[in-house]
């Protein structure tokens, strides 16, 4: 093979566990491997990105990745890591989510050419044909309840209770693996370390059903240095869909990754070579305040997910929003540029007459910049509100002099939260 995939994962810090013989198998021949995705939302978020990168590296090492979308399993719900019974999704929602996620995945994997081009499979395609009696007779027969109960995902739920549906999940997932081995010669299943139990049910099932050897490999679940969950920001999830998370916000997420975390994240998400990454890390450690690593990571990710043009916009917006620029620089921008820069910032339309109601009304009534007038007064008192880059106090009067290009107010809450108010005359 071109590259040793396992070795690649090792230095990138993406290897948690694997079954014996996995590395040998991967070195021996072009191997087909898969990762399953849950169609729980109509977009992937960056929490899904680790398994995506697993497949990306897998393909770059010369192997053939399969993306399994859980059209069937999404109808059941994986109990792993869940404390409560999951809400079931209806068919139409799942179909819609699948389509949207497929498009996003194509930015990471090559689906079009080569002997190892990626493929998408949907487990609903084989489960819809399979009836319950056949399943419990042909598949259920091979795995004991004792074996299934020993899994952490089940053990952890014995106290609080779980439905038979969720209990069956590992068998269903296991059968996916068996099916893919039989029809696609897929010998490896990968996933996050929380999937270890489900994956090994698959290899066990395959062994008992006479399918021969199959392999499992998991990546560690990434956590931030402070222990909090990766992939969330104040606003919630960071999505790949630009309608849910604008390219600017996406870029900002990576720029804001902490010094400690970025050292771990870089090798996981970047496709740069080992030596490139190591020299970037060395530079980062010497001069962390320059944030070379964060910038490199943010650029690479934004290009891959959104493209060159969106990256340029994001950088431009970031420079204006966080550079040393003040009101003067804002006013120097022509209207088109101004709108471009603030494109991904929440914006509001307000009538000119509303300005005379005062700043508190503007913040809390005419716009939703702040949830209530009390909140607005508090923020003003705390010196947290800026208009056109200048801090303002409660009594300030707003006139047409404040408007940029005779139409816009740039409002800031704190340092990082920008709002564009479009004032209509």
Partner RNA sequence: GGGGGGAUACUCAAGCGGCCAACGAGGACAGACUGUAAAUCUGUUGGUUUUACCUUCGCAGGUUCGAAUCCUGCUCCCCCCA
Residues that bind RNA (CB under 7 A): 226, 228, 234, 252, 255-256, 258-259, 288-289, 291, 294, 318, 322, 364, 371-375, 377-379, 382-384, 413-417
* Cα–Cα–Cα angle for 318, 324, 329, rounded to 5 degrees: 85
How many Cβ atoms sit within 10 Å of the Cβ of residue 243?
8
Q: Which one, 20 or 227, has the nearer CB to RNA?
A: 227
Nearest approach, Cβ of residue 51 and RNA (Å) = 26
Separation CA 77–CA 102 (nearest Å): 20
Nearest approach, Cβ of residue 282 and RNA (Å) = 15
Nearest approach, Cβ of residue 135 and RNA (Å) = 33
Q: Which one, 157 or 187, has the nearer CB to RNA?
A: 157
Separation CA 236–CA 245 (nearest Å): 10
Nearest approach, Cβ of residue 411 and RNA (Å) = 12
Name the packing angle between helices 292-306 and 308-322 (round to 10°).
140
Q: Which one, 169 or 253, has the nearer CB to RNA?
A: 253
Nearest approach, Cβ of residue 389 and RNA (Å) = 12
Contact 373, 381 (CB under 8 A): no
Q: Which one, 165 or 256, has the nearer CB to RNA?
A: 256
Strand-pairing partners, residue 216, are 189
Q: Which one, 38 or 361, has the nearer CB to RNA?
A: 361
Q: What is the three-class DSSP state of 230?
A: coil
Q: Which one, 38 or 299, has the nearer CB to RNA?
A: 299
Nearest approach, Cβ of residue 298 and RNA (Å) = 8
Q: Which one, 178 or 419, has the nearer CB to RNA?
A: 419
Nearest approach, Cβ of residue 223 and RNA (Å) = 14
Length of the chain: 425
Nearest approach, Cβ of residue 378 and RNA (Å) = 5
Q: Which one, 289 or 425, has the nearer CB to RNA?
A: 289
Separation CA 154–CA 178 (nearest Å): 21
**Left, alpha or beta for 309 (phi > 0: left; psi -120 to 50: alpha)?**
alpha
Strand (E) positions, 208-335? 215-219, 232-233, 236-237
Contact 164, 74 (CB under 8 A): no
> Nearest-CA neighbor of 121 among 58, 189, 62?
189
Separation CA 63–CA 27 (nearest Å): 10
């Amino acid at each position: 093979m071109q590259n040793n995939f396992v070795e690649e994962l090792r230095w990138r810090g993406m290897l948690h566990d694997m079954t014996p013989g996995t590395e040998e198998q991967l070195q021996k021949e072009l191997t087909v491997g898969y990762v399953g995705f849950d169609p729980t939302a109509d977009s992937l978020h960056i929490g899904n990105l680790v398994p995506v990168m697993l497949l990306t590296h897998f393909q770059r090492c010369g192997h053939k990745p399969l993306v399994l979308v859980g059209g069937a399993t999404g109808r059941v719900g994986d109990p792993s890591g869940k404390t409560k019974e999951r809400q079931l999704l209806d068919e139409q929602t799942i179909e819609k989510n699948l389509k949207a996620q497929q498009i996003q995945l194509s930015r990471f994997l090559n689906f079009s050419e080569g002997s190892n081009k990626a493929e998408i499979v949907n487990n609903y395609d084989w489960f819809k044909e399979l009836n319950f009696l056949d399943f419990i007779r042909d598949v259920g027969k091979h795995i004991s309840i004792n074996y299934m109960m020993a899994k952490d995902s089940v053990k952890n739920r014995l106290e609080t209770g779980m439905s038979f549906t969720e209990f069956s999940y590992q068998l269903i997932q296991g059968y996916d693996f068996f099916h893919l081995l039989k029809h696609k010669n897929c010998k490896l299943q990968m996933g996050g370390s929380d999937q270890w139990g489900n994956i090994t049910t698959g290899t066990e099932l395959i062994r008992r059903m006479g399918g021969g050897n199959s392999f499992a490999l998991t990546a560690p679940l990434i956590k931030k240095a402070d222990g909090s969950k990766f992939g969330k920001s104040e606003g919630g999830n960071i999505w790949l869909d630009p309608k849910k998370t604008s390219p600017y916000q996406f870029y900002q997420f990576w720029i804001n990754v902490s010094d400690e975390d970025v050292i771990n994240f870089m090798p996981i998400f970047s496709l740069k070579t080992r030596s490139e990454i190591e020299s970037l890390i060395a530079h980062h450690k010497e001069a962390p305040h320059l944030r070379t690593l964060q910038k490199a990571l943010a650029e690479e990710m934004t290009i891959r997910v959104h493209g060159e043009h969106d990256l340029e916009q994001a950088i431009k917006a970031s420079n204006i929003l966080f550079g040393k620029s003040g009101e003067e620089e804002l006013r120097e921008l022509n209207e088109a540029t101004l709108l471009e820069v603030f494109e991904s910032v929440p914006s509001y339309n307000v009538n000119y007459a509303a300005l005379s109601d005062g700043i508190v009304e503007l913040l809390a009534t005419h716009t939703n910049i702040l949830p209530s007038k009390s909140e607005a007064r508090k923020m003003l008192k705390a010196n947290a509100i800026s208009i056109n880059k200048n801090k303002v106090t409660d009594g300030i009067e707003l006139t047409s002099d404040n408007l940029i290009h005779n139409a816009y107010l740039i409002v800031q809450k704190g340092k990082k939260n920008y709002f564009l108010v479009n004032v209509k005359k």
